[in-house]
Amino acid sequence: MSTFTILLGGDLIRTPLLDRQVEGSRVIAADAGIGHARLLGLTPELWVGDFDSVPADLPDDLAAVPRKVFPAEKDSTDGELAIAAALERGATSLVLAGAFGGKRADHAFLHLALGVRLAEEGTKVLLTSGAQEGVPLLPGKAGFDYAGGTLFSILGFSDLSGLTVTGAKWPLNHVEVAFGSSLTISNEVKGRLEIALDHGRALLLAHPYPLPES
């Protein structure tokens, strides 16, 4: 498996879990995401974007990263271009670091939806801010080793059919969930979390490293 970390422009904090998730991966930065390279102690092999959001006072090693420059008026976001570059280099697994928050809610939504689409196409995807992480859910079964008490939600990107959740404070047994329903928001891990889905597409959003104010 070839894992690439894509450094996006959303909020990011460094945690021991995040360090383990990016360890040994190849790295591509998307525009302002280069700032996260300094935070994580990483040196990208490529820096992609229109370079309208370059952080000031970059250290020499980051300023020297090879760049692939695109015009500001383009049909793809810098993040999507960075992901495409990783896939061209043989990526089979992606860590999208800085995929949440930041100044652009539209970009954050795109990253969530793009993560689900990439999973449908066969790429393993993890979206993370360091404090919270997202994992696409497609038809089938999946298990997760989160600590007891971890807050999680299941965000539906369609109607969901046959959703079963075990190892949770509020389990579900083969339920139907309408698109836009809040039924699967704010649950809590109790034991080993396992999720099964018959039809639909969704994203598990978990908070394994909650911030103090949360």
Distances in Å between the Cα of 9 and the Cα atoms of 190, 196, 198 are 33, 32, 34
Q: Residue range 45-56: average pLDDT?
A: 82
pLDDT score of 214: 45
DSSP 58: -
Compute how many other C-beta atoms are within 10 angstroms of the C-beta atom of residue 44: 23
Q: What pTM was estimated for this model as a whole?
A: 0.92
pLDDT tens digits, 97-111: 999 976 778 878 889
Residue 25 phi/psi, 5-degree rounding, is -85, 160
Q: Residue range 74-87: average pLDDT?
A: 89
pLDDT score of 101: 72
Which has more confidence, 55 or 132? 132
pLDDT tens digits, 160-171: 999 999 999 999
Among 80, 88, 91, residue whose Cα is nearest residue 8:
80
Q: Are strands 202-207 and 133-137 parallel, antiparallel or unpaired?
A: antiparallel
H or E element that contains 19: helix 16-22
- Parts of the chain belonging to CATH 3.40.50.10240: 3-130
Class of domain 3-130: alpha beta
Q: Which residues pair with 124 in a beta bridge?
A: 93
Residue pair 123/87 in contact (Cβ under 8 Å)? The answer is yes
Helical H segments across 34-174, by residue range: 34-40, 60-63, 78-88, 105-120
pLDDT score of 213: 58
Compute how many other C-beta atoms are within 10 angstroms of the C-beta atom of residue 196: 18
Residue 131 CA to residue 146 CA, distance in Å, equals: 13
What pLDDT band is residue 7 in, cutting at 50, 70 and 90? very high
Least confident of 36-45, 103-112, 133-142: 103-112
Return the percentage of the chain with pLDDT > 70, whole number.
Answer: 97
Q: Residue range 31-59: average pLDDT?
A: 87
Residue pair 185/146 in contact (Cβ under 8 Å)? The answer is no
The DSSP annotation for 22-40 comes to HTT-EEEEEGGGHHHHHHH
pLDDT score of 117: 95
Distances in Å between the Cα of 42 and the Cα atoms of 19, 26, 36, 75, 169 are 10, 9, 8, 29, 38
Residue pair 165/194 in contact (Cβ under 8 Å)? The answer is yes
* Fold designation for 136-207: Jelly Rolls (2.60.120)
Residue 26 CA to residue 35 CA, distance in Å, equals: 16
Q: Residue range 189-209: average pLDDT?
A: 96
- Parts of the chain belonging to CATH 2.60.120.320: 136-207
Mean of the per-residue pLDDT values of the chain: 92
H or E element that contains 152: strand 151-156
